[in-house]
């Protein structure tokens, strides 16, 4: 069997056109895949929030009924973790949170506070006591953060002259 050579002659302009077409296709494919992955990440983040909420309710840290409120175990975690004291002493926390934009109803405040607390980086000493309190009480760090978020939500609602009991009422 003889080797056969295939020779294709393309002028420079056509070669550039082929390269641009291939690159454009790759870029568009990457952009599409990226947007799909972002949607997946968003859904996974939402699932994580729901799971911590279910875990907190099942573990008797906070109520499953609306409006969400701390139960005895949640109060214990709040105090043992040092979150209550840290939130009360950290007066700039409300200002940092309120940069998220104006809140017009208690439900938006609650959701915003929960997201804020999930992304909040705590000082090392608070992080350590938060982890210890979570471990000692048999809950995840996410549940311990949610406990702090519920406490902070009530502070934010009060500062915004909103009532936690209004969480069930639809916005007008």
pLDDT single digits (tens) 18-71: 778 877 887 877 777 676 666 655 555 555 555 555 444 445 566 666 678 888
Q: What is the mean pLDDT of residues 143-172?
A: 79
The verdict on residue 149 lying in a domain is: yes
Report the pLDDT value the prediction gives residue 85, as an integer from 0 to 100.
94
Residues spanned by the domain of 50: 44-168
In a domain, 49, yes or no: yes
For residue 116, how many C-alpha atoms fall within 13 Å in the half-sphere facing its CB? 22
Q: Considering the entire predicted model, what is its pTM?
A: 0.63
SS3 74: helix
pLDDT at residue 25, rounded to an integer: 82
pLDDT for the residue 30 = 74
Tally of domains in the chain = 1
Q: Is residue 59 part of a domain?
A: yes
Q: Which residues of 125-164 are buried (b: 16+ CB within 10 A; e: fewer)?
A: ebeebbeebbeebebeebbbbbbbbbbbbbebbeebebeb
User: Computed over its alpha carbons, how large is the radius of gyration of the chain?
Assistant: 26
Say if 60 falls within a structural domain: yes
Tell me the pLDDT band of 6, cut-offs 50, 70 and 90.
Answer: confident
User: Is 21 among the domain residues?
Assistant: no
Confirm whether 10 is domain-assigned: no
**How confident is the model at residue 124, as a pLDDT?**
93
Pick the residue with more confidence: 101 or 138? 138
In a domain, 4, yes or no: no
| In the predicted structure, residue 140 carries a pLDDT above the cut 70 | yes
pLDDT of residue 131: 92
Q: What pLDDT does 79 receive?
A: 92
Instruction: Judge whether 1 lies within some domain.
Output: no
Comparing C-alpha atoms, which of 99, 116, 122, 125 is closest to residue 150? 116
What whole-number distance in Å separates Cα of residue 143 and Cα of residue 83?
Answer: 13
Lowest mean pLDDT among 17-21, 119-123, 126-130: 17-21
Of 98 and 131, more confident: 131
């Amino acid at each position: 069997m003889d080797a056969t050579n295939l020779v294709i002659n393309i002028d420079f302009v056509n070669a550039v056109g082929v390269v641009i077409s291939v690159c454009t296709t790759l870029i568009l494919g990457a952009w599409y895949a990226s947007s799909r992955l972002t949607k997946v990440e968003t859904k996974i983040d939402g699932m994580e929030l729901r799971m911590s909420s279910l875990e907190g309710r099942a573990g008797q840290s906070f109520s499953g009924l609306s409006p969400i409120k701390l139960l005895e175990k949640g109060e214990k975690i709040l105090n043992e973790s040092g979150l209550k004291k840290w939130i009360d002493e950290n007066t700039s926390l409300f200002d940092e949170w309120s940069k998220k934009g104006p809140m017009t109803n208690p439900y938006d405040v609650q959701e915003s506070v929960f997201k804020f607390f999930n992304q909040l980086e705590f000082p090392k000493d608070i992080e350590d006591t938060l982890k210890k309190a979570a471990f000692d009480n048999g809950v995840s760090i996410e549940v311990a953060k949610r406990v702090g978020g519920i406490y902070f939500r009530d502070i934010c609602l009060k500062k915004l002259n909103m009532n936690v009991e209004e969480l069930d009422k639809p916005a007008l």
